Structure 1
Amino acid sequence: MRKKWIFIGAAFALAMTLTGCRDNAAASIPQQSSQEQTQMIPMEEAQEAALKAADIVAADADISATTLSEVAGVACYKVEFTSGEYAYAYTINAETGAVMEMSSQEQNAQASGTQTETADPAAPAPAQNATGTGTVDEAAAQKIALEHAGVKAADATITKSKLDYEDGRQVYDIEWYAGGAKYDYEIATDTGEIISSAYEEKTMGADSKNVTVSEADAKKTALDRVSGATDKDLYEWKLDYDDGRPEYEGKIIYGGTEYEFTIDAATGSVMEWDAEKVR
């Protein structure tokens, strides 16, 4: 009987010893920090993303600084560079490579502190009127809108150009027709920023029930119009019919701008295009 108790006691002591070893071993394994678990893109990739968003080739840019920081709890790179007459600052998500913020500034205006900021990398550089006050006059606003749309002034019939307000901000509301399409733009008077832009094809495509344009080709047509956007930036997509004509309808959200569009599924042409800043 005494031998049996000795055996049970020894077994219990051994079990406790093994349990303690497992606990100690687990405690000795270092836990990875959240930063170590997060995979960040290389600094060079962030620089490439900033230059691509600005539509500037590396040979034409002088990168002055690239720093790693944090914005709203998200790790990001701030890439600063100059090209031509402008200085740029881009904030790039350090995990995804997406553009979070950007700003551009005329180098000869740095002393005065004049700066233009926009979340849309495709927006044109700010324009000034002849008085040099830093505001945009009507002619300059029309020029910004036409150049963004890729329409020559001689080919456009402007039907509306007036001062208006959008969310308490003064803008020029400009509408015109060109090539059978209607364009509608809002340009901020203080910076020349494009607040919204819309495009509608007035001459419709082939009245056919046959879908001859693939979904992949239609998506490429839409994404090619938004520099830097990829499939992951498509938030809505569907095939629909309008009076028997097939068309793709979709939405892209990228760089602080929401784009809604309609593409003729029989011809591949963009029938409607609307872009608006999101806050």
Structure 2
Amino acid sequence: MKNKVLMMILLGIVISGTAVFAAGTKKSTTKTRKTTVKKRREPQNTKIKYKKATNTAPQITFVKAEEIVLTHAGLDKETANVTKILMEQRDKVLVYKIVFHSDSNDYNYLISSNGGKILNYSQMSRDYLISNKDFIGNEKVSEIILGKIEGAKSSDIYEIRIENENDLPIYKGRAIYNGKDYRFTIDALKGNILKSEEAVFSSF
């Protein structure tokens, strides 16, 4: 009787050890699955400012307006960088002002929020950006503008663009702060303020 009990105990130990070994073997042979993380496209640096005009509402969204102008320019969201979308009121009509650029050109569009008709647009080559590396840069332009508007912050600057005026590269800067609209023309090489304007902000 004792021998029978002893054999049953030994048999139980052998079965348990076999199960543990099998589990360990299965765990060690399990292949590790690699998770492929799709790179998320970084959002574009787009500033959107909207204030509803009295008794007026846009019939198309800014997303649709962006799509219309990019298609018109022969671009898409992968080949264009939209830097600004503003809604303005002109002659009691709400319009979108959309500024963007590709690797080779700058674009500036005005599009009606009522049906998406393109009211005006301009296109300018960005060759001047490549040909001269001595420009002071947007960061310095921001410092100059903020130095002239007490209390304003970088978030109050709504536009900085570079242009050629009489063969002179210049920055055009615009800031909206404390109910006022500030516009600056700055020498792109020396940083001198060539022109400045201040007016009551009433674009919306």
Query: TM-score with structure 2 length normalisation?
Result: 0.34
Q: Relative contact order (C-alpha < 8 Å, sep 6+): which is higher?
A: 2
Rg bigger for which structure?
2
